[in-house]
Structure 1
């Protein structure tokens, strides 16, 4: 009897010559074995799902679980497992009490209407940062000068985190996405962040302002609805998710556009066209998929996905980067293949913000930020260019959120 082939290791390595593309072995699996076992860091073998339709079926299934306390949950690493145990959030929980209710508490602060109302302020921040960039050295690291400050300033203002504390928060959250972090690193960083956020909540019980932490302190902490620790964990989720993904999308999206002159010309030419800019943002979210280590779930009952039976209690990894490159989903309405960047592509059904009940709470804020950034950056600096070869950029292959550690640009 022939031996069963060993499950391939996951995550897989990108091709250095194609830094914007998912790893080639992942795309091969999508074509030949779209639902298959893979081996992850702890030796377990969850199912890997790589096609767009199948991923949506998993993420919207009523019996699928996001509970990170489930023994079968396929954690990304020991460090991330330890952090989630210390600061479990509603995002990694199930049910009306642990997930639905905390989400409802925050959702009213992140509606499309409220985020659109912030557009002028995001524009002001963006212009100020570009002013500073143009007045400073050339070339410059776009990550430090622009990509990181825009979303960091916005999420800290929304939460009510003082400017003086932002460097501390950014430094500590780096431990969450660095694959080299140990469990001890992430737990120590988590404890420190929870302590800082808890202190801010305490202050806002007696001295509230017009921000989200003040509202939580007044409506939840002061009235005894939720504890200081519970609210600090909710705030921690918003703080980390609110700047890491958007900051990396700004840097990586800029590099991608500068590497695709034909698409960049469309953006430059139509920088004042809201429809084209909105389409550009959706396409960049699809094409780049900075959450490149997959969305993790556990089957709550036997289910068939892509013709494969997945048993109750088995782990699942949804590879949304390959799902977002699936030709079955993204080659309608365009002449370009799904592996190409096309800023006019109808791409709003991408999976960059997940799908189903656990989709990203802050997606409307991210959209507005990215729309303002990409319309303004190339309008105000039409000669913007990479100041280093694409192959010399230090991409974040070592992080759970993909991007660039630094990005030298010139004009």
Structure 2
């Protein structure tokens, strides 16, 4: 068993969290990473066993335009600050996963500027897909999804693979425990296999998850050698089905999720630095409990985006600065939070605690037992069938009941077991997590 077998990650976007400037100022190093340390105990109180950090390497703006993978962004601090954060996390038995942006770089990346200076045919030029106009006009380059500031790397170049492996090894040697591969869906899966083989030869316990929004999840994992990919299908189905009172959508997604989980353990989430916060996404606030119950009772490595456990709201907008609302600065101390955050935090603690008491849920099999537009009942079972939980979710405007697969006891939620022991009762927009009684 490795550390990831019982992991639950608290996901932080560091540049926003510490209130860093939106772009590099060139005015020296600001030692802000230490501001995360008081929050490590908050992560422990939540029930997390690891921290997923967003970009921490030198960049020009939002962190995803890396200019130097071997240097900490001076708006956050320096290498000593990051290593100290690793040590502070490890002292609390928290693991740390870093965000590696290896599909593209910022225009300030040294090899890109060198390529422009040295011209076509230079070794640096082969790091990218460049086009040199005959008329001497500006050099064109492949980019990431139309963002010219993000210069796509040439993943057919062995030097690029060597650089990526070197970066991953460098920070693992200094205390990191894993890597999130940003925009992994834009990189040929075959690129990762030799890179990860090399990295794992020296760091066999490293956890590697790829950001994959759509596509053949299982095929990408198999070909790339990653441990997992992000489960965007389930994320979308959770909030969409609750908003539309269409439990059939979630039932279908759970069937797909069960198939994925036969091949690998997906990274599951309700929010991250790229999407509208779940508290803003859900049209009915009471359904936050439903969404969280799904996250923590199905197979996967759950991640909780910092602030979601406190009820933070924020809408992502397609404009300059449109991510600011979902990447806010946090107070210096968790004690400075508004009192209203405590109820949402307690709900998270309750369901994270349930997950902790049933660690087999990470690799569980999920089966839908019954579904209507407004009611979903499913069972997540241990692989050897020695344990199971049953989840009942209602979006109905009136109380309802649903059949159970056997006598059950309520573990969490506002539902109850009917007198005959074989039905669960739910109030309006109610929910329950139950366990099957032994025998």
Q: Please give the TM-score of this superposition, normalised by the length of structure 1.
A: 0.23
Q: Which of the two has higher C-alpha Rg? A: 2
More strand by share: 2
Higher helix share: 1
Task: Identify which of structures 1 and 2 has the higher relative contact order when contacts are C-alpha pairs closer than 8 Å and 6+ apart.
Answer: 1
